[in-house]
Amino acid sequence: MKPLFSFTRSQLREEISSLGVEPYRADQILGWVYKKGILDFGSMTNLPKDLREILKNLYVTKSLTLLKKVQGPDATKYLFRTKDGHLVETVLIKERDHYTLCVSTQVGCAVGCTFCATAIDGLKRNLSADEIVDQYMQVFTDSGIKPRNVVFMGMGEPLANYENLRKACEIFVSPWGLDLSKRRVTVSTSGIISQIRRMAKDPLMRDLNLAVSINAPYQDLRERIMPLTKTNPLDELMEELKRFPLPRYRRITLEYVLIKDLNDSPQHARDLAKLIGRHKKRFKVNLIPYNPDPLLPYSRPPLERIFAFQRELWERGISTFVRFSKGVDVFGACGQLRAREELCQSG
């Protein structure tokens, strides 16, 4: 049985034609699935009965099994299991007037940032496109909520799983798919330069929102906390970002996790401003106060230190926001995703 969410529109039309069925039936199926959230072929009433039977035997509409949901005041964490037994986490975040879904792209992560809980067990494997899309579909069908925004800030490094990420994004933003606005889908990367270049040349991917985790304003500190910096030097990364073809009125987000006594001084802020240089209109900075993990030796700076950092950047004309992660109380905040079942007590 094949996963239905692994098909783009053209692939499904081709597949359906090869069964001797007219290709417009593919569009009807996609309409039920992505517009209405109806996954049961038996309920797709505009399809002939015999076709519904055939589809039931050929395709599965669940790639993941929902194990648990942990509800907090402003976020719900969904814990899934893959067919081969890995755990995957997705977080639904309530904003003032809409929902954002934080989606995982890998089981674990190979990048090895020293401050991130996802890095602790290394990379297990990439998620397939259908496993990425299914995180959205299960939340949609379970809660009836169709999140307006998707951020690839769950477990894993999205650009290290480019092909599957790309296909999932095609399903997220296409009119025949989930039809999300491209500016409401955010790819967050630790800064793999070759893959950012690839994204820049890809008409589908370059119109999405790009967020880059900078986390340190100079090479040696960044190397220490984000080891990929050795092979992806900070100055080259910044050059690439200054060249990246941005849609009008769009900015690249620089994410900066503030860690106590490590990268949180006013001098670090001034150095970050220097890194941005005269390209102030091209970037905005999101400061993320560190979310602690029992296994990691870091902590969050005091509030006045956080706001002093922000002030340094404001004074230099750089749009800077402090983003307190939601979902800390369900271990669903940035850097806390490690898919440990024992941390997911329901209730």
Nearer CB in complex with ligand SF4: 114/143:
114
Residue 190 binding ligand SAH, by CB under 6 A: yes
Residue 119 touches which member of ligand SAH, ligand SF4, none, C-beta under 5-8 Å by kind: ligand SF4
81: CB partners within 8 A, 6+ apart: 64, 65, 67, 87, 88
Of 29, 79, 113, 208, the one binding ligand SF4 (CB under 6 A) is 113
**Residue 118: closest CA among 158, 84, 70:** 158
CB of 298 to ligand SAH, least distance (A): 7
- 3 state DSSP class of 215: coil
Q: Which of 89, 157, 170, 312 is catalytic?
A: 89
Q: Which residues contact 166 (CB under 8 A, 6 or more apart)?
A: 202, 204, 205
Are 224 and 249 in contact by the 8 Å Cβ rule? The answer is no
Q: Which does 209 bind (CB under 5 to 8 A by kind): ligand SF4, ligand SAH, none?
A: none
Among 3, 72, 177, 335, binds ligand SAH (CB under 6 A): 335
**Residue 257's binding partner out of ligand SF4, ligand SAH, none, with CB under 5 to 8 Å set by partner kind:** ligand SAH
Helix axes 266-276, 303-315, angle to 10 degrees: 30
> From CA 198, how far away is CA 176, in angstroms rounded?
25
Radius of gyration of the chain (CA): 21
Binding of ligand SF4 at residue 190 (CB under 6 A)? yes
Secondary structure of residue 307 in the 3-state scheme: helix
Residue bearing tokens 């922000």: 310
- Distance in Å, CB of 213 to ligand SF4, minimum: 6
Active site residue 334: yes
Question: Nearest approach, Cβ of 121 to ligand SF4 (angstroms)?
Answer: 11
Contact flag: residue 331 with ligand SAH (CB under 6 A): no
Q: Please confirm, yes or no, whether 89 is among the known catalytic residues.
A: yes
Give how many residues touch ligand SF4 by CB under 6 A.
11
Contact 92, 79 (CB under 8 A): no
Q: Smallest distance from the beta carbon of 250 to ligand SAH, in angstroms?
A: 18
Spatial CA neighbour of 139 closest among 188, 77, 60, 74:
77
288 binds ligand SAH (CB under 6 A): yes
With CB under 6 A as the contact rule, the residue among 76, 188, 195, 320 that binds ligand SAH is 188
Among ligand SF4, ligand SAH, none, the one that 153 touches (CB under a kind-dependent 5 to 8 A) is ligand SAH
User: Taking CB under 6 A as the rule, does residue 134 contact ligand SAH?
Assistant: no
Helix (H, G, I), strand (E, B) or coil at 229: helix
Give which of 80, 189, 183 is closest to 136, Cα–Cα. Answer: 80
Q: Summarize as ranges the residues that interact with ligand SF4 (CB under 6 A).
A: 109, 111-113, 116, 118-119, 156-157, 190, 213
Q: Which residues are known to be catalytic?
A: 89, 334
